[in-house]
Structure 1
């Protein structure tokens, strides 16, 4: 429905840290032309916690304008408030995006029944296809396999981005959800094992830099060329690791700038990569011939 490789796109900022919508269009076009089947706008990598609703809606609009029918545009519309998530999802739908992604409510740590109710209520408020996003390292709450399995019965909840690192949980989700329920890796370093467990692809950070290689890795595995897919995965692993040397999206923004697309700084409380971190990233990018 959305593609195999979706990029969790960074949000470009101007010098004054206002959103650079023109550069967002430039970046989205670049990604679609370099291995990405679609983009996720205003997710964690897009610094969603420090974007206003108006900024998010404008980003959905300008990215959809430039991507058009060349790729999918998924709107990050998750909040830890069900009402706010519903309101933003409705605005995203009015823009004409292709789907929405809902992160597990963070900080308030609802129980699994509360998570089920939250996602179901948001999904029922829209006709958009919904991807769940489980990233307990950031939200402090794991979306358990049984909850995902139950939510997969909601007609327009079509998949999950899994970033728990729990492969037993991931395998259970795959084994007990419908055949057409999309299981995306939410971590670049876990893409190969998630694909091996039946995943459909990855919602990637590293695809900002090596989108074509990641696309080839996914395609090789799906075509039965496991040896070549693993070879690509292992080759890219140092890049996957260095991009998470510190909190995402600090390193990937530095990497995109090294590639020649100036996406600006980060909004506080995030900070720019330091010289040592940039040096480590640059060495790996040079070794991979990414620069």
Structure 2
């Protein structure tokens, strides 16, 4: 399964009552494919506010995205959680909905050992025929999927990739020792170009909601050997990469990007509690950031 180089972790649009806005979801899928050049979309990942979506909402999102994308891009379902049995159940449901793969975040809060992590991912992978992408984000889960555990999981036939937010050092170690065909995606927008330089395949991105087309140009420039142009584009994009997560104080994903989409005349609604929208200072920061970026 080729998920491409630029994968967007898609936000979930909500209406004024906090329910999924299906008309806007349809438009957002088109926008991310046609305008921002996404190769694949992650639906109901943590950027999509999976912790506050019901199981029924998640399955409906999977079905809806598969139907509307209609083969124009791959649909990856966020089915990971800190409940192995629950993740297996949702992964099986996602497979029945016709998705192309699943993204499994490391179990959060319960802080399993490395052996526990291995057994968790192994159990889910063995319960499905879908391609599995691991998701390592210690800052949110309080546990790091180590290099050794990642490489061990990479031996499972349908564990095909990882989205890793760890250091370039860890990415390099995984890339250097991974079996042929196992792909590494950066999970940090600002590390996209450096990660490509050490052999990563691409990026699973949040900023691609705002700057996906430019990110695609940067990736293609690097792959075509135009490192100078890629570096120039990286420099231009870097304020967006940093600003989406620190505006001006660190804010939870997807608060900033949802607000930024509204400023770009693509409103996708607010966020569900316990997340709250940006405050006055954060709003001003994002407005100035986008004005500067558009010049």
Whether the TM-score (by the shorter chain) exceeds 0.5 is yes
Alignment of 1:156-195 (within 5 A): 156-164=158-166, 166-195=167-196
SS in 1 for 2:261: helix
Residue deviations 1:135-172 (CA, integer Å, cap 9, x gap): 000000000010000000000000000112x1111101
Kept in 2: contact 1:103–1:132 (CA 8 A): yes
Q: Look up the match of 2:16.
A: 15
Aligned to 1:238: 239
Secondary structure in structure 2 of the residue aligned to 1:33: helix
Shift in Å, 1:11: 0.5
Among residues 40, 57, 60, which one is paired with 2:59 in the alignment? 57
The residue matched to 1:288 in structure 2 has which SS? Answer: helix
Answering whether residue 4 of structure 2 is matched by residue 3 of structure 1, we say yes
Q: How many residues align?
A: 289
- The unaligned stretches of length 5 or more in structure 1 are none
Q: Which residue of 2 aligns with 1:277?
A: 282
Which one of 52, 67, 73 corresponds to residue 71 of structure 1?
Answer: 73
Residues 247-286 of structure 1: matches in 2 within 5 Å? 247-286=252-291
Normalized against structure 2, the TM-score is what?
0.96
- Measured after TM superposition, the shift of residue 22 of structure 1 is 2.0
- Structure 2 regions of 5+ residues with no counterpart? none
Checking the alignment, whether the CA contact within 8 Å between 1:239 and 1:281 is kept in structure 2 is no
TM value normalised by structure 1: 0.98
Deviations 1:253-278 (A, max 9, x none): 00111111221111000000122212
Tell me the distance in 2 between the aligned counterparts of 1:30 and 1:65.
Answer: 16
RMSD: 0.9
Q: Residue 87 of structure 2 corresponds to which residue in structure 1?
A: 85
